[in-house]
Every structure is written in C-alpha cells, then in structure tokens.
Amino acid sequence: MSAITISAKAVQKLREKTNAGMMDCKKALMEASGNLEEAETILRKRGVSIASKKAGRSASEGTIASYIHMGGKMGVLVEINCETDFVARTDSFKEFVKDITLQIAATRPVCVSRDQVPAPLVEKERDIARAQIKDKPENVVEKIVAGKIEKYYSTVCLMEQAFIKDHAKTIKEYLTAKIAELGENIVIRRFAVFQLGEEL
C-alpha cells in the first residue's frame, strides 16, 4: 500500500481552520487519507479528549479583561484562567480572551454554564413555554417544553452559545480547541456586564 503524500498547503489550510499544531494537522490528514473535512473531525474529537484530560488541572493564572462598547455606555469585565503565566502572555490566549469579551458584549448571556442558571428563571421559562402550547396533548407538551428549555440554555449560557465569529461552533467547542492548541486547562471563570443607567 502506497503512503499518502500530504501537501504543506493542505496542512496549512487545516491549521487555519482548527488552530491545531502542524504535526497534529499532518497526522489527522494522513489518518483521513487527505480528506480535509474528515481530518477536521478527527482533530475536533482529539481536542475533546485532550481537553477532558486537562479539565481537572488547576488554573489559577490568566487575566481579567475589559471591553468598553458604545462610547462608554456598556462594559464587560471577564476573568479567564489558565495554568501558567507563560500561556497567559501568548497572543493566542489574548485573542481568545478578546473574542470572549466581544461575545459577551454582543449576546449578553446570563451566566457561564447551565448549572449556574438560577432555578426560578428556568421554571419561569417552563411556565411560559407550557402556556404557549397548552392546547396540545400532555406528552407532546413535555417534548416541546424540553426543546424550548434547550433553546433557552443556548441563549443564556455563554458556553452553549454559537460563537459570533463562527456559528458552526459553540463557545464550549471554541474553548476545547483552544485547550488542545495551548496544552493547558483554560477556564472562563466569571463575567459581569454593565449597561449605563440599567436598573440593578
């Protein structure tokens, strides 16, 4: 069986799409017999396994960043942690932090992940959803309500939102790819949004 030749151009293209290292891109392309989409899927799966291995590691370095929008009428403050000061100073980490502050400013999530959504808010959404479809059979109602709650989570939870720069991936997937790329655990710890004149 003849060995597959992978062009440097294909490796570069995959690298641009995934932010993975050159060797990882080459290996994935070889595994996928040169198929770019298949190689991207391989890397994304690998990223998930790398990220899950690193998830338990302590992340106490990082940065607190701000983004001021609309001429000082709105501001975002975010804390993003990584394991070492070295990674915190890389352009790739800084770009990730900037992307996250822009995401928060644009989409105004309520919290980082679904386990942080206050139970009364979820219950209120359930009640609204049920009221909208009260004439349907009970078994259908529960399925529709569950679907609407999932949709609600994808709006209010930062990790479940579609990334504004690439709607094909969620913030969680973007974070996973960044962990795989930088080789450290990264945690979006917390954020706050300030709107001038907003009721507290």
Mean pLDDT of 126-134: 82
pLDDT digits (tens, 9 = 90+) for 141-182: 788 888 888 898 999 999 999 999 999 999 999 998 898 888
User: Do 8-54 and 61-113+157-195 agree at the fold level?
Assistant: no
Specify the CATH superfamily of domain 8-54: Ubiquitin-associated (UBA) domain (1.10.8.10)
Strand locations in 61-126, DSSP E?
61-69, 74-82
Prediction pTM value: 0.68
* Mean pLDDT of the residues in the chain: 85
- Ramachandran category for residue 72: left, alpha or beta (phi over 0 → left; psi -120 to 50 → alpha): left
Question: What's the confidence (pLDDT) of residue 55?
Answer: 60
Domain boundaries, the chain: 8-54, 61-113+157-195, 118-155
Question: What's the confidence (pLDDT) of residue 52?
Answer: 61
Q: Residue 2 — pLDDT band, cuts 50, 70, 90?
A: very low
Identify the architecture of domain 61-113+157-195 in CATH: 2-Layer Sandwich (3.30)
pLDDT digits (tens, 9 = 90+) for 97-120: 999 999 999 999 999 999 998 888
